[in-house]
Amino acid sequence: MDPAALRASTRHLLTDIATAAEGWTVAICSEDLLLRASGALLLDCCSLVAGSIGELLIQLEATAGPLLVVCGDDCADGGADALIEQLRSALGAARCRFVVVLADSVAPERLQRIWSSGAEALCCLQACGQGQLLHALLMVLRGQSCLDPLLRQRLQQPLALRGADGQALELSSREQELIAAVARGHNSREIAALHQLRGDTVRRYLSNLYRKVGVRDQRGLISWSLAHGLIRLPDLHSHPRPLQLGAEGSRHRSLGADRSTGWPAAARPG
C-alpha cells in the first residue's frame, strides 16, 4: 500500500476505534516492548499496559465495564490461553474480549489451542504494520470476530490427532458430530432423538469414542476436543438444538445408514 494511503487509512481507523471504545477499558499485555509501546502510542483509548498476567490483574482491580485486551503469547507467567482463562475467571466471561497477536511461525498445535480458548481475534504479527491489528480491534469493539487470512488457512489444515497412547488417529464424520453434540450440552438420549437412533446405540458409540481417544467420560471428551482444536470454549452449550422428546420425538426408525457419516440417511444433519 502507498505510504500516504496507509497513513490516511490508519487515521480513519484510529478515529473509529476511539468512538467505538467509549466506555471500554483497553489494555495491552505482552513482554514484547514494541507491541506495548506502539499500542500505547497509537491508541488514545489504551489505559493499561502490562508485561505479565499478574501485573494486568492487579491493574484491573480498580476498573469496571467491558474490557478489551490486546496480548501476545509471550508472558512468563502464562501464554494467551492462560491469560484468557484467568481474566474471564476473575472478571466474568461476558466482560472480556481478546485480540491475540501471533507470529506467523506459531506452532499448529499452539495456534489451535489459542483459538480454542475463545479469543475474538487472531492477528499475524508480520501484518500489524499494514493496519490489520487496528482493523481487528475495531471489529471486536463492534461485537465481531476477526481472523488473519494466513492464520485462518493454517487453522483449516487438520492436525494429526493423537489418542492417550500417543498414536495418530482419525475421527469419522459420525464421531465428529458426536463431539459437537456433546459440546452443545446434549446427553445420549437427546442425541438419539436428534439422529433417530436407539439410546443404547448412542451410548455404545460414545463408549467406543471415549476408548478411542483415551478418556473416561463426556467431560474428558470435551477437554480432549478443546486441546486438539475440534471445538472452542465459546462453542460449549452455545447453540443447543431444540428437541421434541415426546412420543414422536423419541420414536426410533430403522433406516439405512449413510456411508459418509454413519448416521441414518434421513436423519443426517442438514
Q: Do 169 and 161 touch, CB atoms closer than 8 A?
A: yes
Residue 1: predicted pLDDT:
56
Q: What is the DSSP annotation of 91-147? A: H-GGGEEEEEEE-TT--HHHHHHHHHTT-SEEEEGGGGGGTHHHHHHHHHHTT--EE
- Please say whether the dihedral angle defined by the alpha carbons of residues 137, 138, 141 and 145, taken in this order, is positive or negative: negative
What would the grid cell of residue 194 be?
436428534
- Spatial distance between the Cα atoms of 33 and 15, rounded to a whole number of angstroms: 24
What pLDDT, on a 0 to 100 scale, did the predictor assign at position 3?
A: 66
What pLDDT does 84 receive? Answer: 96
CB proximity list for 102: less than 8 A, separation 6 or greater: 72, 73, 80, 111, 114, 122, 123, 124, 125, 151
Distance of alpha carbon 17 from alpha carbon 38, whole angstroms = 15
d(CA 145, CA 14): 18
Q: Please give the pLDDT value at position 251.
A: 34
Question: What grid cell was written down for 172?
Answer: 469419522
Helix (H) or strand (E) segment spanning residue 90: helix 80-91
Q: What is the pTM of this model?
A: 0.68
Answer yes or no: are the C-beta atoms of 20 and 141 closer than 8 Å: yes
- Torsion angle in degrees (nearest 10) through CA of 180, 222, 111, 139: 60
Q: Does residue 32 contact residue 50 with C-beta atoms inside 8 Å?
A: no
Are 101 and 150 in contact by the 8 Å Cβ rule? The answer is no
CA separation for the pair 10, 38 (Å, rounded): 13
What domains appear along the chain, each with residue ranges and CATH number?
A: 3-155 (3.40.50.2300), 162-267 (1.10.10.10)
Mean pLDDT, the chain cut into blocks of 10 residues (270 residues total): 71 93 96 88 91 96 95 93 95 95 89 91 88 93 94 83 79 90 91 90 95 92 85 69 39 34 40
Residue 14 near residue 134 (C-beta atoms within 8 A):
yes
